[in-house]
Structure 1
């Protein structure tokens, strides 16, 4: 089944849909996505390397999981779906919304643009991932404090969205398992929470 993304206006309102296969190019329209940071009970973050054939940022290290909610799909459902499909992981019952209005635009060397309204969520899992090689070709658990410090000082090269998210996440406090949950009412209007 072809994956469809939700197109949004600058206020985050649904203005239509487009095939994911067609959405990323030199003039990528603003669309709805999400980023998820997965932790274990030792406060390590799961860092993944995107598969080498991905359309955007192939082979680049990034946060645990990213994706696009389908039209009408709850954000929490989209996160669960991608964690299972991409990483073979079952998240904890609680998925926490931490940055409800994160937005970024970034351009690859070949001119391909990412242009996303991309709420950021976090969850806790038990066990190691069993990634789908079509999505992920490397992973590691890294203590959050170390990961955040090396992203912010530039010694760890990561995706442009991760590079922008980490300082905002760090501002929420040093313990990722104690980050305050944002209200789902702060999500873009096009996003469904549950």
Structure 2
């Protein structure tokens, strides 16, 4: 995809409250093996039918093994007000996944200094029935540990609410109310549950 094509597909209108700078940041397009094959804006990557691109999901566990969930803010362009893992995002071209994830934890939740361990990749595609935007992610899953009483400083433009949950209970909860959970949550949680701790 040429730079000219990318430039002509930039958004004219964003959802109210959405950060235009985030939609215009660059992400890496990837092939089936996760190798970089190009660069486009966040907005272009998530426009139907969606372009496969590099992303990350951070899972945070407390000492009791509970997982921190965040409810995505109402102004999110993809899957607003759904419960998801601690944070998600996209590394900039040539930025490491771990650096990007640590920065996003700080931006969204005010959490710093957490050691993040890569768990693997969850690749998925999901279309938001409300906004029409598409997630087509090569999603690097990272795990960190956080005390349950750690002070969170959630950015209200990103996070509507937070709560701790038993990760083993999430499949039943998502089955009972699928519209309440982000479509990638079970896949990234499964990577953690299947890994010996």
* Range into which the TM-score falls when normalised by the shorter chain: 0.7 to 0.9
Q: Is the 8 A contact 1:90 1:125 kept in 2?
A: no
* DSSP-derived class of the 1:102 partner: strand
Post-superposition CA distance 1:68-120 (Å, at most 9, x none): 0111111111110000001100142x31111x231000112143211010011
* DSSP-derived class of the 1:80 partner: helix
- For residue 125 of structure 1, report the CA deviation from its aligned partner: 2.1
- For residue 163 of structure 1, report the CA deviation from its aligned partner: 2.4
Which of 155, 164, 169 aligns to 1:141? It is 164
CA RMSD of aligned residues (A): 2.0
Structure 2 residue 130 is matched with structure 1 residue 107:
no
Q: Which region of structure 1 is more displaced relative to structure 2, 12-21 or 161-170?
A: 161-170
**CA distance in 1: counterparts of 2:67 and 2:113, whole angstroms:** 13
**CA distance in 2: counterparts of 1:133 and 1:124, whole angstroms:** 23
Q: Is the 8 A contact 1:148 1:170 kept in 2?
A: no
Which of 76, 86, 96 aligns to 2:117? It is 96
Distance 1:8 1:116, change over 3 A: same
TM-score, normalised via structure 1 length:
0.79
The answer for unaligned runs of 5 or more in structure 2 is 1-20
TM-score, normalised via structure 2 length:
0.78
Q: Which region of structure 1 is more displaced relative to structure 2, 69-78 or 105-114?
A: 105-114
The answer for unaligned runs of 5 or more in structure 1 is 179-194
* DSSP-derived class of the 1:33 partner: strand
Number of equivalent positions = 171
